[in-house]
Structure 1
Amino acid sequence: MYNRIARLWRQKESKDLDGADLEKLLAKIDRNRVPRHIAIIMDGNGRWANSRGLPRFFGHKAGVESLRDIVRACSEFKIQVLTVYAFSTENWKRPQEEVNVLMDLLVEYLYKEIDELCREGVKLNPIGKLDELPAGVIKALQMAVERSRTNEGLILNLALNYGGRTEIVEAVRNIASNVKKGILSIDQIDGNTISGYLYTSGQPDPDLLIRPSGDFRISNFLLWQLAYTEFWLTPVLWPDFRRVHLMRAIVDFQSRERRFGGLKKNNRTT
């Protein structure tokens, strides 16, 4: 049943994209100024399914197709880092059946996609409290991390059992522990120190956050890292999100002037 519905959905999506002038959109993108790091809150799977009278499982399954397309697109645009919010620390509150489906889909994705990810040079980097995930998920993640360990293309941060506050709390605890051990002094602690203790240590902060589904919140995602990130919001639900939407986000991003607390260029004094 799912395969038939998914086929019809993809046919509709292809028809919709035929009307978009992708070549003109592509021509607007300056390949030398693409975001180094894009973060995406993959939201709207349940609403996508409910609007079609389908079980939520179908929305999550369809969302995997979107992830596949966006990872490919980010590789093609030479994005350095893509961080996707796959499962939050709060998602355990969902019905157990739905949690099981999400975990099964994750394992399926990793085993099915690892060959292509490696061909594209993608390096998988799961972030979050990974030791609390089911054993089968941990095994699949270990396989994917090991297989992609030496890849030098896109870094794919897969945020699993992730919470921004938890990440900061863990960083503070580790810093305090190292101060207690004499490894670190209080005077050495600054913003760079804290960044170095986060899951994204060594990576640039996100330049662009994409939030599908029409919501206006960051949902406990990358709270420290998003300090100066540009936001791009869209009502498009995640299962309908494709590279054309990513391209629109990049074009809009490149039209903005990032001031990082400073003034616009024409307002600056010499």
Structure 2
Amino acid sequence: MPKHIAIIMDGNNRWARRSLLPSLSGHRAAINTVREVVKHCRELKIPYLTLFAFSSENWKRPEAEVSGLMQLLLGLLKKEAEKLVRNDIRLKIIGDCAALSPQIQAAITYCEELTSGCRGMTLMVAINYGGQWDITQACRNLARMVVANQLDPDHIQPRDVEEQLASGDAPPVDLMIRTSGEKRISNFLLWQCAYAEFFFCNTLWPDFTVRDLDLAIEDFRGRERRFGRS
């Protein structure tokens, strides 16, 4: 079984257009899929699940859509925290949270602290996240350590970079899933996906089911992972 699954939850807007609904309806419908996928991963004892909720490029979307997404996020953080605790799920938000509203930042802090003692599964949600940003901020942290004479630049190893990434102590991604038929990773977990297996499906995220997740895991388990070996 994969120890770390990452999902690019794509297709909410297309789902809404197909249903002749405003774009925010697609994002609302996506919430139910998130709940079911998180629940199923917990039942399968998947240690780490990372969901791409909002990229650093998504600020370019229409202002009304971005504002609506942020309101949905704030509501979810307030509503789901105690449910995560009951299911022994630790929440970790990765991304540049400084750009988020003070209300959302406060809700993130509350949820992360409330769930900090949970050990059943770690749910990482990427908000205002980009893989290039992640690697850049890791390099900045290492540079500060070099300047402070805490680190010899000639002895920097990949594990030193990994420790400074937003994902922290999470293991590398084993299985990356993207919905909606797109076949790219869109600046998501670039370092962490170095040896990930990719699974692309045509299903729009609001229509994605636990059966789809099982199919992706089944496909993953049938692959031979050589990590560069012949």
SS at match of 1:192: helix
Q: Partners in 2 of 1:127 and 1:227 — Cα distance?
A: 18
Letter in 2 for 1:247: D
SS at match of 2:217: helix
* Residue among 10, 13, 26 paired with 1:43: 10
**If you compute each CA radius of gyration, which structure gives the higher value, 1 or 2?**
1
Q: CA deviation at 1:109?
A: 1.2
User: In the alignment, does 2:215 pair up with 1:215?
Assistant: no
Q: CA deviation at 1:146?
A: 1.4
Among all aligned residue pairs of Structure 1 and Structure 2, give the percentage whose two residues are the same amino acid. Answer: 46
Q: Partners in 1 of 2:217 and 2:157 — Cα distance?
A: 31
Q: Which residue of 2 aligns with 1:259?
A: 226
Q: Which residue of 2 aligns with 1:17?
A: none
**TM-score of the aligned structures, taking structure 2 as reference length:** 0.98
SS at match of 2:171: coil
Q: Which residue of 2 aligns with 1:174?
A: 141
Letter in 2 for 1:260: F
User: In the alignment, does 2:93 pair up with 1:93?
Assistant: no
**Correspondence 1:21-170 to 2 at 5 A:** 34-170=1-137
SS at match of 1:228: coil
Q: CA deviation at 1:116?
A: 1.5
Q: CA deviation at 1:125?
A: 0.2
Report the count of equivalent residues: 230
Letter in 1 for 2:23: R
Q: CA deviation at 1:77?
A: 0.5
Q: CA deviation at 1:187?
A: 2.3
SS at match of 2:52: strand
**TM-score of the aligned structures, taking structure 1 as reference length:** 0.84
Q: CA deviation at 1:135?
A: 1.5
**Correspondence 1:238-253 to 2 at 5 A:** 238-253=205-220
Q: Partners in 2 of 1:188 and 1:127 — Cα distance?
A: 27
Q: Partners in 2 of 1:110 and 1:179 — Cα distance?
A: 37
* Residue among 160, 163, 184 paired with 2:151: 184
Q: CA deviation at 1:222?
A: 0.4
Question: Deviation per CA, 1:190-242, whole angstroms, max 9, x where unpaired?
Answer: 11111111011211001000000100110000011111000011000000111
Letter in 1 for 2:123: L
Q: CA deviation at 1:163?
A: 0.6
Q: Partners in 1 of 2:149 and 2:214 — Cα distance?
A: 48
Q: CA deviation at 1:76?
A: 0.4
* Residue among 231, 239, 242 paired with 2:198: 231
Q: Partners in 1 of 2:153 and 2:82 — Cα distance?
A: 45
SS at match of 1:85: strand
Q: Partners in 1 of 2:22 and 2:188 — Cα distance?
A: 26
Q: Which runs of 5+ in 1 are unaligned?
A: 1-33, 264-270
Q: Partners in 2 of 1:178 and 1:99 — Cα distance?
A: 36
Q: Which runs of 5+ in 2 are unaligned?
A: none
Question: Deviation per CA, 1:239-268, whole angstroms, max 9, x where unpaired?
Answer: 0111111111111100001000111xxxxx
Q: Partners in 1 of 2:50 and 2:70 — Cα distance?
A: 18
Q: Partners in 2 of 1:140 and 1:186 — Cα distance?
A: 37
Q: CA deviation at 1:78?
A: 0.5
CA RMSD of aligned residues (A): 0.8
Q: Which residue of 2 aligns with 1:200?
A: 167
SS at match of 2:198: strand
